[in-house]
Amino acid sequence: MIMISVLLVVVAVVTVAAVQGDPCSLGQWSSEGNRWEEYLQAAEEAREVEGCPRVDGCSTCHQATIARDFAPWAGGIAREEVEEAARVARVTRYQVVNHTLYRSDDCMFPFRCVGIEHFLLEVVHRLPDLEMVVNVRDWPQADKRGPKLPIFSFSKVAAQHWDILYPAWAFWAGGPAIGLHPRGLGRWDLMSASITSTASGLPWEARKPQGFFRGSRTSGERDPLVLLSRRCPGIVDAQYTKNQGWKSEKDTLGKPPAEEVSLENHCSYQYLFNYRGVAASFRLKHLFLCRSLVLHVGSDWEEFFYPSLVPWLHYVPVPAEADQQEILGLLHFLQEHEPLARRIAEAGSSLVATHLTLEDVSCYWTALLTQYAALLTFPVTRDPAMHRVLPTKT
Protein backbone atom coordinates (compact mmCIF):
# COMPACT_ATOMS: atom_id res chain seq x y z
CA MET A 1 0.00 0.00 0.00
CA ILE A 2 2.85 2.38 0.82
CA MET A 3 4.49 1.64 -2.54
CA ILE A 4 1.22 2.33 -4.38
CA SER A 5 0.68 5.62 -2.50
CA VAL A 6 4.18 6.77 -3.28
CA LEU A 7 3.69 5.83 -6.94
CA LEU A 8 0.43 7.83 -7.13
CA VAL A 9 2.11 10.88 -5.61
CA VAL A 10 4.96 10.66 -8.12
CA VAL A 11 2.53 10.33 -11.02
CA ALA A 12 0.52 13.32 -9.76
CA VAL A 13 3.65 15.48 -9.43
CA VAL A 14 4.84 14.50 -12.90
CA THR A 15 1.40 15.24 -14.37
CA VAL A 16 1.22 18.69 -12.75
CA ALA A 17 4.73 19.47 -13.92
CA ALA A 18 3.85 18.41 -17.44
CA VAL A 19 0.78 20.65 -17.48
CA GLN A 20 2.68 23.61 -16.07
CA GLY A 21 5.43 23.09 -18.62
CA ASP A 22 3.06 22.77 -21.55
CA PRO A 23 3.58 25.84 -23.79
CA CYS A 24 -0.03 25.53 -24.94
CA SER A 25 -1.56 25.25 -21.50
CA LEU A 26 -4.31 27.84 -21.38
CA GLY A 27 -4.06 27.80 -17.60
CA GLN A 28 -0.59 29.33 -17.52
CA TRP A 29 -1.77 32.87 -18.16
CA SER A 30 -4.52 32.85 -15.54
CA SER A 31 -2.27 31.29 -12.90
CA GLU A 32 0.67 33.63 -13.48
CA GLY A 33 -0.93 36.95 -14.36
CA ASN A 34 -4.69 36.91 -14.06
CA ARG A 35 -6.40 39.79 -15.88
CA TRP A 36 -9.84 38.24 -15.76
CA GLU A 37 -11.28 40.79 -13.34
CA GLU A 38 -10.11 43.55 -15.67
CA TYR A 39 -11.85 41.87 -18.60
CA LEU A 40 -15.05 41.25 -16.64
CA GLN A 41 -15.20 44.83 -15.41
CA ALA A 42 -14.70 46.17 -18.95
CA ALA A 43 -17.48 43.92 -20.24
CA GLU A 44 -19.84 45.02 -17.49
CA GLU A 45 -19.15 48.73 -18.08
CA ALA A 46 -19.68 48.28 -21.80
CA ARG A 47 -23.22 47.05 -21.19
CA GLU A 48 -24.12 50.50 -19.87
CA VAL A 49 -23.55 52.12 -23.28
CA GLU A 50 -26.84 53.22 -24.78
CA GLY A 51 -27.88 51.95 -28.16
CA CYS A 52 -28.53 54.14 -31.20
CA PRO A 53 -32.04 54.43 -32.68
CA ARG A 54 -33.14 54.63 -36.28
CA VAL A 55 -34.65 57.93 -37.38
CA ASP A 56 -36.58 58.26 -40.64
CA GLY A 57 -35.31 54.85 -41.69
CA CYS A 58 -31.63 55.71 -41.09
CA SER A 59 -29.27 54.52 -38.39
CA THR A 60 -27.93 57.21 -36.08
CA CYS A 61 -25.02 55.02 -34.93
CA HIS A 62 -22.41 56.64 -37.12
CA GLN A 63 -23.31 60.33 -36.93
CA ALA A 64 -20.64 61.09 -34.35
CA THR A 65 -17.99 60.32 -36.97
CA ILE A 66 -19.29 63.11 -39.19
CA ALA A 67 -19.28 65.62 -36.33
CA ARG A 68 -15.74 64.66 -35.34
CA ASP A 69 -14.34 64.82 -38.87
CA PHE A 70 -15.87 68.24 -39.63
CA ALA A 71 -14.91 69.78 -36.30
CA PRO A 72 -11.64 71.28 -37.68
CA TRP A 73 -13.71 73.23 -40.23
CA ALA A 74 -16.30 74.66 -37.83
CA GLY A 75 -15.64 78.09 -39.36
CA GLY A 76 -16.24 76.85 -42.90
CA ILE A 77 -14.27 75.41 -45.82
CA ALA A 78 -12.79 77.99 -48.19
CA ARG A 79 -12.32 77.57 -51.93
CA GLU A 80 -8.54 77.78 -51.44
CA GLU A 81 -8.60 74.73 -49.15
CA VAL A 82 -10.49 72.65 -51.70
CA GLU A 83 -8.18 73.79 -54.49
CA GLU A 84 -5.11 72.92 -52.44
CA ALA A 85 -6.60 69.49 -51.67
CA ALA A 86 -7.14 68.96 -55.40
CA ARG A 87 -3.43 69.46 -56.03
CA VAL A 88 -2.56 66.30 -54.09
CA ALA A 89 -1.34 63.66 -56.55
CA ARG A 90 -3.92 61.29 -58.03
CA VAL A 91 -7.00 62.45 -56.13
CA THR A 92 -10.36 62.66 -57.90
CA ARG A 93 -12.60 65.75 -57.96
CA TYR A 94 -16.38 65.59 -57.91
CA GLN A 95 -19.06 68.24 -58.26
CA VAL A 96 -22.78 68.17 -57.67
CA VAL A 97 -24.53 70.94 -59.60
CA ASN A 98 -28.31 71.08 -59.94
CA HIS A 99 -28.59 67.49 -58.66
CA THR A 100 -26.25 66.22 -61.37
CA LEU A 101 -22.95 64.46 -60.62
CA TYR A 102 -19.71 65.41 -62.41
CA ARG A 103 -16.18 64.03 -62.09
CA SER A 104 -12.67 64.88 -63.19
CA ASP A 105 -11.21 62.52 -65.78
CA ASP A 106 -8.58 61.00 -63.53
CA CYS A 107 -9.38 58.11 -61.19
CA MET A 108 -6.41 56.09 -60.02
CA PHE A 109 -8.56 52.95 -59.55
CA PRO A 110 -11.57 53.20 -61.89
CA PHE A 111 -13.53 50.32 -60.33
CA ARG A 112 -13.23 52.00 -56.94
CA CYS A 113 -14.79 55.13 -58.42
CA VAL A 114 -17.62 52.95 -59.71
CA GLY A 115 -18.22 51.79 -56.14
CA ILE A 116 -18.31 55.37 -54.87
CA GLU A 117 -20.44 56.68 -57.72
CA HIS A 118 -23.11 54.05 -57.20
CA PHE A 119 -23.99 55.73 -53.90
CA LEU A 120 -23.44 59.30 -55.11
CA LEU A 121 -25.86 58.74 -57.98
CA GLU A 122 -28.33 57.16 -55.59
CA VAL A 123 -28.45 60.24 -53.34
CA VAL A 124 -27.57 63.08 -55.75
CA HIS A 125 -31.20 64.18 -56.05
CA ARG A 126 -31.12 65.04 -52.34
CA LEU A 127 -27.83 66.94 -52.35
CA PRO A 128 -27.14 70.67 -52.57
CA ASP A 129 -24.42 71.94 -54.91
CA LEU A 130 -20.94 71.00 -53.75
CA GLU A 131 -17.37 70.31 -54.82
CA MET A 132 -15.16 67.74 -53.11
CA VAL A 133 -11.84 65.94 -53.42
CA VAL A 134 -11.85 62.15 -53.02
CA ASN A 135 -8.92 59.85 -52.35
CA VAL A 136 -9.39 56.30 -53.70
CA ARG A 137 -6.05 54.99 -52.46
CA ASP A 138 -5.81 52.90 -49.32
CA TRP A 139 -3.63 55.42 -47.48
CA PRO A 140 -5.07 58.74 -46.22
CA GLN A 141 -3.60 61.87 -47.80
CA ALA A 142 -3.97 64.72 -45.28
CA ASP A 143 -1.40 64.19 -42.54
CA LYS A 144 -1.85 66.43 -39.50
CA ARG A 145 1.80 67.38 -39.67
CA GLY A 146 0.87 69.27 -42.83
CA PRO A 147 -1.87 71.71 -43.87
CA LYS A 148 -5.52 71.10 -43.02
CA LEU A 149 -6.89 69.65 -46.27
CA PRO A 150 -10.54 68.56 -46.75
CA ILE A 151 -9.81 65.27 -48.52
CA PHE A 152 -12.30 62.42 -48.35
CA SER A 153 -10.73 59.00 -47.58
CA PHE A 154 -12.14 55.62 -46.61
CA SER A 155 -9.78 55.03 -43.68
CA LYS A 156 -7.49 56.93 -41.34
CA VAL A 157 -5.95 57.23 -37.91
CA ALA A 158 -8.02 60.04 -36.38
CA ALA A 159 -5.15 61.37 -34.31
CA GLN A 160 -2.85 61.59 -37.33
CA HIS A 161 -4.98 62.57 -40.34
CA TRP A 162 -7.33 65.41 -41.32
CA ASP A 163 -9.06 63.19 -43.89
CA ILE A 164 -12.87 63.05 -43.83
CA LEU A 165 -14.15 59.48 -43.72
CA TYR A 166 -16.58 58.22 -46.34
CA PRO A 167 -18.03 54.70 -46.78
CA ALA A 168 -15.55 52.62 -48.74
CA TRP A 169 -16.18 51.80 -52.40
CA ALA A 170 -16.09 48.13 -51.38
CA PHE A 171 -19.69 48.25 -50.14
CA TRP A 172 -20.62 48.05 -53.83
CA ALA A 173 -17.60 47.48 -56.08
CA GLY A 174 -13.82 47.61 -56.17
CA GLY A 175 -13.22 45.68 -52.99
CA PRO A 176 -9.95 43.84 -52.23
CA ALA A 177 -9.19 41.22 -54.87
CA ILE A 178 -8.12 37.76 -53.69
CA GLY A 179 -7.99 34.40 -55.41
CA LEU A 180 -11.51 33.54 -54.26
CA HIS A 181 -12.85 36.93 -55.42
CA PRO A 182 -10.58 38.20 -58.21
CA ARG A 183 -12.77 41.28 -58.79
CA GLY A 184 -13.25 42.06 -55.12
CA LEU A 185 -15.38 40.71 -52.31
CA GLY A 186 -18.59 41.72 -54.00
CA ARG A 187 -21.62 43.77 -53.06
CA TRP A 188 -22.19 44.14 -49.35
CA ASP A 189 -25.86 43.15 -49.53
CA LEU A 190 -25.11 39.94 -51.44
CA MET A 191 -22.14 38.99 -49.27
CA SER A 192 -24.19 39.75 -46.15
CA ALA A 193 -26.95 37.40 -47.27
CA SER A 194 -24.49 34.63 -48.08
CA ILE A 195 -22.54 34.87 -44.81
CA THR A 196 -25.70 35.23 -42.73
CA SER A 197 -27.19 32.14 -44.37
CA THR A 198 -24.07 30.12 -43.58
CA ALA A 199 -23.96 31.39 -40.00
CA SER A 200 -27.59 30.47 -39.38
CA GLY A 201 -26.79 26.84 -40.12
CA LEU A 202 -23.90 26.71 -37.66
CA PRO A 203 -24.90 26.84 -34.00
CA TRP A 204 -22.17 27.95 -31.61
CA GLU A 205 -21.68 24.40 -30.32
CA ALA A 206 -20.98 23.11 -33.83
CA ARG A 207 -18.13 25.57 -34.40
CA LYS A 208 -14.49 24.82 -33.68
CA PRO A 209 -13.46 26.38 -30.34
CA GLN A 210 -10.36 27.92 -31.86
CA GLY A 211 -9.05 31.31 -32.83
CA PHE A 212 -8.93 31.70 -36.61
CA PHE A 213 -7.18 33.96 -39.12
CA ARG A 214 -6.26 33.83 -42.80
CA GLY A 215 -4.60 36.69 -44.60
CA SER A 216 -1.38 37.93 -46.13
CA ARG A 217 1.48 39.36 -44.10
CA THR A 218 0.74 43.03 -44.64
CA SER A 219 1.62 43.88 -41.04
CA GLY A 220 4.00 42.46 -38.46
CA GLU A 221 1.22 42.79 -35.90
CA ARG A 222 -0.11 39.49 -37.24
CA ASP A 223 3.06 37.53 -36.51
CA PRO A 224 2.39 36.62 -32.83
CA LEU A 225 -0.93 34.97 -33.72
CA VAL A 226 0.59 33.01 -36.61
CA LEU A 227 3.52 31.90 -34.44
CA LEU A 228 1.11 30.91 -31.67
CA SER A 229 -0.79 28.81 -34.21
CA ARG A 230 2.38 26.98 -35.17
CA ARG A 231 3.14 26.38 -31.52
CA CYS A 232 -0.42 25.48 -30.48
CA PRO A 233 -2.42 24.42 -33.57
CA GLY A 234 -5.21 22.98 -31.45
CA ILE A 235 -5.94 26.41 -29.97
CA VAL A 236 -5.35 28.76 -32.91
CA ASP A 237 -5.54 28.20 -36.66
CA ALA A 238 -3.79 31.24 -38.16
CA GLN A 239 -1.81 31.08 -41.40
CA TYR A 240 -0.44 33.48 -43.96
CA THR A 241 -1.67 33.42 -47.53
CA LYS A 242 0.03 34.62 -50.68
CA ASN A 243 -0.69 38.13 -51.99
CA GLN A 244 0.34 40.00 -55.13
CA GLY A 245 3.66 40.96 -53.56
CA TRP A 246 4.61 37.41 -52.49
CA LYS A 247 8.08 36.39 -53.70
CA SER A 248 9.24 33.64 -51.36
CA GLU A 249 8.42 31.88 -48.10
CA LYS A 250 10.14 34.78 -46.35
CA ASP A 251 6.95 36.72 -47.14
CA THR A 252 4.89 34.14 -45.23
CA LEU A 253 7.16 33.95 -42.17
CA GLY A 254 9.23 31.03 -43.41
CA LYS A 255 6.39 28.67 -44.30
CA PRO A 256 4.60 27.88 -47.59
CA PRO A 257 1.53 30.09 -48.10
CA ALA A 258 -1.80 28.63 -47.02
CA GLU A 259 -4.87 28.45 -49.20
CA GLU A 260 -7.36 31.28 -48.90
CA VAL A 261 -10.54 30.57 -46.94
CA SER A 262 -13.91 32.01 -47.92
CA LEU A 263 -15.58 34.39 -45.52
CA GLU A 264 -18.47 31.95 -45.22
CA ASN A 265 -16.08 29.26 -43.99
CA HIS A 266 -14.76 31.62 -41.34
CA CYS A 267 -18.07 30.98 -39.60
CA SER A 268 -16.90 27.46 -38.71
CA TYR A 269 -14.81 28.94 -35.89
CA GLN A 270 -15.92 30.49 -32.60
CA TYR A 271 -13.20 33.17 -32.42
CA LEU A 272 -12.26 35.32 -35.43
CA PHE A 273 -9.24 37.64 -35.38
CA ASN A 274 -9.22 40.88 -37.36
CA TYR A 275 -6.07 42.87 -38.13
CA ARG A 276 -5.52 46.07 -40.05
CA GLY A 277 -3.92 45.71 -43.45
CA VAL A 278 -2.23 48.57 -45.28
CA ALA A 279 -4.92 50.70 -43.66
CA ALA A 280 -8.19 49.59 -42.03
CA SER A 281 -9.32 46.04 -42.76
CA PHE A 282 -12.13 45.50 -45.27
CA ARG A 283 -13.02 42.15 -43.69
CA LEU A 284 -14.11 43.41 -40.27
CA LYS A 285 -17.75 44.03 -41.15
CA HIS A 286 -18.00 40.60 -42.77
CA LEU A 287 -16.60 38.79 -39.73
CA PHE A 288 -19.36 40.12 -37.50
CA LEU A 289 -22.03 38.51 -39.66
CA CYS A 290 -20.68 35.05 -38.81
CA ARG A 291 -22.06 35.47 -35.28
CA SER A 292 -18.69 34.29 -34.03
CA LEU A 293 -16.78 36.38 -31.51
CA VAL A 294 -14.63 39.00 -33.22
CA LEU A 295 -11.27 39.83 -31.65
CA HIS A 296 -10.19 43.15 -33.16
CA VAL A 297 -6.47 43.84 -32.90
CA GLY A 298 -5.35 47.45 -32.55
CA SER A 299 -7.48 50.56 -32.20
CA ASP A 300 -5.93 53.23 -34.43
CA TRP A 301 -7.06 52.55 -38.00
CA GLU A 302 -10.75 52.92 -38.65
CA GLU A 303 -13.52 53.23 -41.21
CA PHE A 304 -16.53 55.48 -40.74
CA PHE A 305 -18.53 52.89 -38.76
CA TYR A 306 -15.81 51.77 -36.34
CA PRO A 307 -16.64 54.35 -33.62
CA SER A 308 -20.12 52.80 -33.26
CA LEU A 309 -18.53 49.48 -32.25
CA VAL A 310 -18.00 49.37 -28.49
CA PRO A 311 -15.16 47.19 -27.14
CA TRP A 312 -16.33 44.40 -24.86
CA LEU A 313 -19.91 45.02 -25.99
CA HIS A 314 -19.64 44.22 -29.72
CA TYR A 315 -16.13 42.77 -29.91
CA VAL A 316 -13.11 41.92 -27.79
CA PRO A 317 -10.20 44.37 -28.15
CA VAL A 318 -6.66 43.05 -28.44
CA PRO A 319 -3.68 45.42 -28.07
CA ALA A 320 -1.66 45.75 -31.27
CA GLU A 321 1.45 44.84 -29.30
CA ALA A 322 -0.09 41.71 -27.72
CA ASP A 323 2.35 38.78 -27.60
CA GLN A 324 1.59 35.08 -27.84
CA GLN A 325 1.00 34.64 -24.11
CA GLU A 326 -1.47 37.51 -23.89
CA ILE A 327 -3.45 36.14 -26.83
CA LEU A 328 -3.36 32.67 -25.27
CA GLY A 329 -4.60 34.01 -21.94
CA LEU A 330 -7.39 35.97 -23.60
CA LEU A 331 -8.61 32.88 -25.42
CA HIS A 332 -8.53 30.99 -22.14
CA PHE A 333 -10.64 33.70 -20.52
CA LEU A 334 -13.22 33.57 -23.31
CA GLN A 335 -13.46 29.79 -23.22
CA GLU A 336 -13.91 29.88 -19.45
CA HIS A 337 -16.58 32.60 -19.82
CA GLU A 338 -18.46 31.17 -22.77
CA PRO A 339 -21.83 32.88 -22.01
CA LEU A 340 -20.06 36.25 -22.12
CA ALA A 341 -18.28 35.34 -25.36
CA ARG A 342 -21.57 34.35 -26.99
CA ARG A 343 -23.30 37.50 -25.75
CA ILE A 344 -20.62 39.72 -27.27
CA ALA A 345 -20.71 37.74 -30.51
CA GLU A 346 -24.48 38.18 -30.82
CA ALA A 347 -24.35 41.90 -29.96
CA GLY A 348 -21.68 42.60 -32.58
CA SER A 349 -23.52 40.65 -35.25
CA SER A 350 -26.79 42.40 -34.44
CA LEU A 351 -25.26 45.89 -34.64
CA VAL A 352 -23.69 45.32 -38.04
CA ALA A 353 -26.70 43.51 -39.49
CA THR A 354 -29.11 46.19 -38.25
CA HIS A 355 -27.12 49.41 -38.57
CA LEU A 356 -24.80 48.81 -41.52
CA THR A 357 -27.14 47.97 -44.36
CA LEU A 358 -26.77 49.42 -47.86
CA GLU A 359 -29.57 51.81 -46.91
CA ASP A 360 -27.50 52.99 -43.96
CA VAL A 361 -24.52 53.55 -46.24
CA SER A 362 -26.68 55.74 -48.49
CA CYS A 363 -28.01 57.57 -45.43
CA TYR A 364 -24.45 58.25 -44.31
CA TRP A 365 -23.47 59.63 -47.71
CA THR A 366 -26.48 61.93 -47.65
CA ALA A 367 -25.79 63.25 -44.15
CA LEU A 368 -22.05 63.53 -44.82
CA LEU A 369 -22.35 65.53 -48.03
CA THR A 370 -25.25 67.67 -46.88
CA GLN A 371 -23.24 68.81 -43.87
CA TYR A 372 -20.13 69.22 -45.99
CA ALA A 373 -21.94 71.42 -48.52
CA ALA A 374 -23.20 73.60 -45.67
CA LEU A 375 -19.59 74.28 -44.66
CA LEU A 376 -18.49 75.50 -48.09
CA THR A 377 -18.02 79.28 -48.02
CA PHE A 378 -18.05 79.74 -51.80
CA PRO A 379 -20.63 79.21 -54.55
CA VAL A 380 -20.09 76.07 -56.64
CA THR A 381 -20.07 76.65 -60.38
CA ARG A 382 -19.97 73.96 -63.01
CA ASP A 383 -16.43 73.08 -64.13
CA PRO A 384 -16.58 72.32 -67.88
CA ALA A 385 -13.46 70.16 -67.59
CA MET A 386 -15.45 67.59 -65.62
CA HIS A 387 -17.67 65.01 -67.28
CA ARG A 388 -21.12 63.92 -66.22
CA VAL A 389 -21.24 60.62 -64.32
CA LEU A 390 -23.83 58.15 -65.53
CA PRO A 391 -24.84 54.83 -63.94
CA THR A 392 -22.53 51.91 -64.75
CA LYS A 393 -23.45 48.24 -64.69
CA THR A 394 -21.32 46.26 -62.25
pLDDT digits (tens, 9 = 90+) for 218-272: 888 999 999 999 999 999 999 999 887 788 888 889 999 999 999 999 999 999 9
CA distance 322 to 125: 48
Phi, psi of 228 (to 5 degrees): -65, -35
Beta pairing, strands 151-153 & 164-165: parallel
Provide the pLDDT for residue 4: 39
Classify 279 as helix, strand or coil.
Answer: coil
| 138 annotated active-site | yes
Mean pLDDT of 77-91: 96
* CA–CA distance, 353 with 285 (Å, rounded to integer): 9
Phi then psi dihedrals of residue 32, to 5 deg:
-105, -20
In terms of Cβ atoms closer than 10 Å to its own Cβ (0-12, 13-18, 19+), residue 354 is middle
Angle between helix axes 358-375 and 63-70 (nearest 10 degrees) is: 30
> What is the Cα–Cα distance from 36 to 26, expressed in whole angstroms?
13
Of the candidates 382, 387, 365, 357, the residue with the CA atom closest to the CA atom of residue 120: 365
Q: How confident is the model at residue 11 (pLDDT cuts 50, 70, 90)?
A: very low
Query: How far is the C-alpha of 74 from the C-alpha of 72, rounded, in Å?
Result: 6
**pLDDT bucket at 393, cuts 50 / 70 / 90:** low
| Sign for the pseudo-dihedral over CA of 188, 303, 165, 73 | positive
Q: Long-range contacts of range 18-21, CB-CB < 8 Å, 24 or more positions apart?
A: none
pLDDT of residue 178: 63
Which pLDDT belongs to residue 12? 34
Distance CA 73, CA 56 (A): 27
Percent of the chain at pLDDT > 90 equals: 79
At residue 2, does pLDDT exceed 60? Answer: no
**Chosen CATH of 178-302+306-355 out of 3.40.50.300, 3.40.50.2000, 1.10.1200.10, 3.30.70.1560:** 3.40.50.2000
Residues 316, 310: Cα–Cα separation, whole Å? 9
Contact 225, 238 (CB under 8 A): yes
For CATH 3.40.50.2000, the residue range(s) in the chain are 178-302+306-355
Average confidence score pLDDT of the chain: 90
Give me the mean pLDDT over the 333-350 stretch: 96
What pLDDT is stored for residue 31 in this prediction?
46
Catalytic member of 22, 105, 106, 138: 138
Non-local (6+) Cβ contacts of 143 within 8 A are: 160, 161, 162
Which residues neighbour 226 within 8 Å (Cβ) at sequence distance 6 or greater?
A: 213, 238, 239, 240, 253
pLDDT at 186: 77
Query: What is the sign, positive or negative, of the torsion defined by CA atoms of 322, 325, 328, 330?
Result: negative
Q: What pairs with residue 274 in β-bridges?
A: 296
Neighbour-count burial of 46, counting CB atoms closer than 10 A to its CB (0-12 exposed, 13-18 middle, 19+ buried): middle
Q: Read off the amino acid at residue 49.
A: V
Question: Which pairs count as long-range contacts for 254-260, CB under 8 Å and 24+ apart, including other chains?
Answer: 255/230, 258/214, 260/178, 260/179, 260/180, 260/214
